[in-house]
């Protein structure tokens, strides 16, 4: 009688664990979440530029420039931007995108490398007011960061423990 009761209790738990493992798969290296980075924005002539730390040979694979209030499903992305990272900066000329004199924008882009396997995802929020460009702190819904306190340090988001 004791063996039957133990079987009745353990069987559902074991079958549930087995089903969950089959449905979700085993954890592995592909399951790691990649966090977004942000960058300091500057204006060089008519270009809007972003400082890329440790740029190496990374180049943009896609880019989205949208007003900050644009819902995710309505955002536009260019999957062949034709822009390059040079001297640690990614610059957007007016011929690629003309920013108006006023408004807030979210710029999202992915940098890939031929030498390194890990792509780098960037999210930058900026405000333009009277032709001047300012960094704006992205919200938790706009950027994926590790679990730490997010602060602005010289207009560049950094994690401080």
pLDDT at 154: 44
pTM of structure: 0.72
In order along its 161 residues, the chain shows pLDDT tens digits of 455 666 677 788 778 878 777 777 666 666 567 789 999 999 999 999 999 999 999 999 999 999 998 999 999 999 999 999 999 999 999 999 999 999 999 999 999 999 988 899 999 999 999 889 999 999 888 888 765 544 444 444 444 43
For residue 148, the number of C-alpha atoms closer than 13 Å in the C-beta half-sphere is 11
Q: Which CATH class name applies to 30-160?
A: mainly beta
pLDDT at 92: 96
CB-based contact 144:35 (threshold 8 Å): yes
Long-range contacts of 108-112 (CB under 8 A, 24+ apart): 108/63, 108/64, 108/75, 108/77, 109/60, 109/61, 109/62, 109/63, 109/64, 109/81, 110/60, 110/61, 110/62, 110/63, 111/52, 111/58, 111/59, 111/60, 111/61, 111/85, 112/58, 112/59, 112/61
CB-based contact 134:126 (threshold 8 Å): yes
For the chain, count helices (H), then strands (E).
Answer: 1, 10
pLDDT at 152: 45
Burial 105-122 (b: 16+ CB within 10 A, else e): bbbbbbbeeeeeeeebeb
């Amino acid at each position: 009688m004791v063996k039957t009761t133990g079987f009745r209790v353990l069987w559902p738990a074991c079958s549930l664990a087995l089903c969950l493992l089959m449905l979700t798969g085993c954890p592995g290296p592909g399951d790691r979440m990649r966090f977004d980075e942000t960058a300091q924005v500057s204006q060089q002539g008519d270009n809007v530029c972003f400082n890329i730390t440790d740029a190496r040979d990374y180049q943009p694979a896609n880019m989205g420039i949208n007003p900050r209030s644009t819902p995710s499903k309505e955002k536009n992305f260019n999957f062949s931007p034709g822009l390059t990272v040079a001297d640690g900066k990614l610059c957007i000329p007016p011929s690629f995108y003309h920013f108006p004199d006023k408004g807030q924008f979210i710029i999202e882009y992915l940098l890939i490398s031929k030498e390194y396997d890990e792509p780098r995802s960037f999210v930058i929020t900026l405000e333009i007011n009277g032709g001047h460009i300012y960094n704006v702190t992205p919200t938790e819904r706009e950027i994926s960061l590790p679990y730490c306190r997010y602060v602005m340090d010289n207009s560049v988001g950094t994690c401080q423990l």
